[in-house]
Chains A and B, each alone.
Chain A
Amino acid sequence: MNGLTFDIAHLLAGSLVLVSFMMLYQDRLFALINVFALHAVVLALSVAWQAYIQDAHHLYITAAIALVFKAIVIPVGLHRIIQRLGIHRDIETAVGIGPTMLAGIGLVTLSMVLMLRVTPEADPLAREDLAFALSIILLGLLVMVTRRNAVSQVVGFMSLENGLVLAATGAKGMPLVVEISVAFSILIAFIVIGVFLFRIRERFDSVDVGALDDYRGERQ
């Protein structure tokens, strides 16, 4: 593999991690969703580049799915949900930005150390890709854990899934069927969660998941 293709793939995957950090930093919902759209765009670029260098045409379809659904349909849908719910002014981090960023740095370090250690004989590009993908997954989980609002938990979940797609495209030979089914399951999860959000809202006047706990009839 020549140096340039490797560097570009590295750059795109690295920027995906960077965008994940940007997501950690946002404390407004609109900004969070915009960054998520950027995340999806970078993912689409990265997947397309992988399709180009691996000469695997079906990966272009994966990139297109990422671009259409994750960068356009889902962010637009989430925007409308937020507007209809009227929660666009909420500040909703449960943990401060500073500690979250520090934890994120720790997670990235952990996944680098781990992945580079356990895959010494793999293809260098795949190694880097896997390490970045694990970082993105962990950062997505961190987003889910540190946010109080159900919408941003959905966003965290989607970015986690982006990490999975990155890992899958980095490793050669994943069939398209799997990617499509993953993409559709994410879409369905998005729809289901969206429906639930409105239901929760109707019932509790809030999408703060803490409100659910008050209504369980048990202690918090």
Chain B
Amino acid sequence: MISTVALLLCGPAALLGTAVLAGAFSRRASATRLVYGAALAISAALLVIVADHLMGNPGEVSAVTLPLGLPWTGARFRLDGLSAFFLIVVNLGGAVTSLYGVGYGQHESAPHRVLPFYPAFLAGMNLVVLANDAFAFLLSWEFMSLASWALVMAHHRDEANRRAAYIYLVMASFGTLALLLAFGLLAGPAGTYAFDAMRTVQPGPLAAGAVLALMLLGAGSKAGLVPLHAWLPLAHPAAPSHVSALMSGIMTKVAIYGFVRVVFDLLGAPAWWSGVAVLLIGGVTAVLGILHALMEKDLKRLLAYSTIENIGVIFASLGLALAFKANAMPSAAALAFTAALFHVLNHSFFKSLLFFGAGAVLSATGERDMERLGGLIHRLPVTSFVFLVGCVSISALPPFNGFASEWLAFQAILQSPDLPQWGLKVIVPAVGGMLALAAALAAACFVKAFGITFLGRARSAVVEQAHEVDRFSLAAMAVLAVLCLLAGLLPGFVIDGLSTVTLPLIGDRMPVQTAQPWLSIVPIAESRSSYNGLLVFVFITISASLAAFFIHRFASHALRRGLAWGCGFDDAAPAAQYTAVSFAQPIRRVFGGFAFRARETVEMPAPGTLDPARIKVDIHDVAWETFYQPIAGAIDFATERLNYLQFLTIRRYLTLVFLYLVILLLVLALWP
């Protein structure tokens, strides 16, 4: 009987085979449908295998060592609760994205630049989640990075895309370097690169701190933690939309998998301050991410920045779980950890959905700039409805799934008074405040995203000719919208399913939720808090239906037509509507000073001229200017100096070699 993990490894192998075939035949007209169809079938098959495994014996661990890679070590792969959960995230996302790609890929101008790398990217993500030694993990991780880099470069004639891809490549190499060092520290002097061996060793506090910092750098740069996020809003939107969905919705989750795998599984017992670091970074990331999103007028960049916010929420929950775990509060730790993983699942749903929506808008109108859209609800009724579902979910409004996971996170934050350290007692509520702020700003952000894009009146002529997208894209978006609603209505099933992950990693689980009456969820005790998504849903449905019924039944049917109040402007041109920038202006005025060094200047026309007055807004990316530019400058400076070494005489080169040799010998002679 072939083991489950070996069966699962056939999936990435099949995907890689598809990638090779796609490389050979990508110029055929039918290639797009075939490649995405194959990816869909393989992802669905993987999903079925994992589901079967979880139905049968969820706690079972299945491992295999393949004679691949480095001689004498081989490549180890393993399936446990954590990897099974992330396999579901990856392959559910992969399957829906492939379904979307069947339709969306038809609009691709250069399919031969996308088709070979798309299955390879999926294979890379699957392999990262399955890897069970540092070598296989890093190789798969780098493979995933490079495949996604190639997809970012798909439209390489655009200068901005090339720059985005370059920055992505630099950041990805930097992240892998950090991971390499982290695994080196974990392996210790014995050099055991198998995860099973790392699990048994408890590193010293200094090494554990260094590994945590390196994981925050390595996995954090891939996930988009501030200040390592700079590449993300450039690279995610540059790829074709379904790939953006994969990168934003799924690849960031693979990065979180890497972080969880190392910090919760391999690193042993955490120290309480490690929770503080992760919490603070998570909170700051959430707030800054969503503030940046609010300032955006490019729909896909807005979504990418919002990804940063959600990553912040997830990391804050993970930090909370670390803090509780360090203080031997397993039930609270399980609650925070479940909240983080639940949000991972939810974010993969609604972020993919929103990117699909943005892709649909892009293929219908050719525009990503919200200032040139508007009124699309008349042209794309189905797309706008599912996009609205995504917006409501990501804004954490009940009864959708975003609310359920964020509510759990806040329930975990409310456990903080029981923590013994004063530092945590103070910081956790502060981070809770930041998350609450981020949640509120996220709602504002998606009111803007939906309102400016789909409501109001058309701001450009292209909108007038927009047509609803093909049925594959619509089906993919509808599936995700239904999943968003289901996960919001039935969170108990998800929470119970996550117990297979929390039990081995935290040592405890949340109380069984499916046993609660009426599908309620009760994270700690009924006296403290409970939530019933179904009840909220039924209440909203009934009250809305009743309101509609009463309005239609009892309101006056007399028809009056009149001008809408134009806020004092007589000219009712589309340009007089709210714009993306003007909608965000109040928030920019409140937060812009410290978050963006924003400055508004009003240029008044000279007296007597008829020019319009102009308002100009300067927004700076503080992280970019504070961290990246000095580093880039230092590298430039150093290379400028080292360039001198290119032009020495032969004798000088000999002298350099000689001196170096002598110095090495001296070190050897003087070493104690």
Contacts and interface: CB of A to CB of B under 8 A. Distances in A.
Contacts of B554: none
Interface in B631-658: 647, 649-651, 654-655, 658
B563 interface: no
A34 B457 CA distance: 98
Given A111-B665, A113-B669, A114-B668, A145 B655 contact: yes
B658 A114 contact: no
B339 to A, nearest CB: 58
Given A110-B665, A114-B669, A117-B669, A209 B650 contact: yes
B649 A210 contact: yes
A212 B650 contact: yes
A218 B662 contact: no
B525 interface: no
Contacts of B666: 110
Contacts of B572: none
Main secondary structure on A side of the interface with B: helix
A32 interface: no
A4 interface: no
Contact of B662 (A110, A118, A213): A110
A138 interface: yes
A2 interface: no
B661 interface: yes
Interface residues on B, range: 10 to 19
A107 interface: yes
Contacts of B669: 110, 113-114, 117
Nearest to B668: A114
A13 B651 CA distance: 29
A117 B672 CA distance: 11
A148 B651 contact: yes
A144 interface: yes
A218 B668 CA distance: 38
A107 B666 CA distance: 10
B654 A145 contact: yes
Contacts of A218: 647
Contacts of A145: 651, 654-655, 658
A141 B661 contact: yes
Given A113-B669, A114-B669, A145-B655, A209 B662 contact: no
Interface string A154-172: 0000000000000000000
Contacts of A107: 662
Interface string B347-371: 0000000000000000000000000
Contact of A144 (B647, B649, B654, B668): B654
A141 B658 CA distance: 7
A118 B668 CA distance: 9
A181 interface: no
A102 to B, nearest CB: 14
Contact of A220 (B647, B655, B658, B665): B647
A219 interface: yes
Contacts of A189: none
A16 to B, nearest CB: 19
Interface string A123-163: 00000000000000010011011001000010000000000
A94 interface: yes
A213 B649 contact: yes
Interface string A186-220: 00000000000000000000000110110000111
8 contacts: A94-B651, A110-B665, A114-B668, A114-B669, A138-B661, A210-B649, A210-B651, A212-B650
4 closest cross-chain pairs (CB), A and B? A114-B669, A213-B649, A145-B655, A141-B658
Interface of B: 647, 649-651, 654-655, 658, 661-662, 665-666, 668-669
Given A111-B665, A114-B665, A209-B650, 13 more contacts: A110-B662, A110-B665, A118-B668, A138-B662, A141-B654, A141-B661, A144-B658, A153-B654, A212-B650, A213-B650, A218-B647, A219-B647, A220-B649
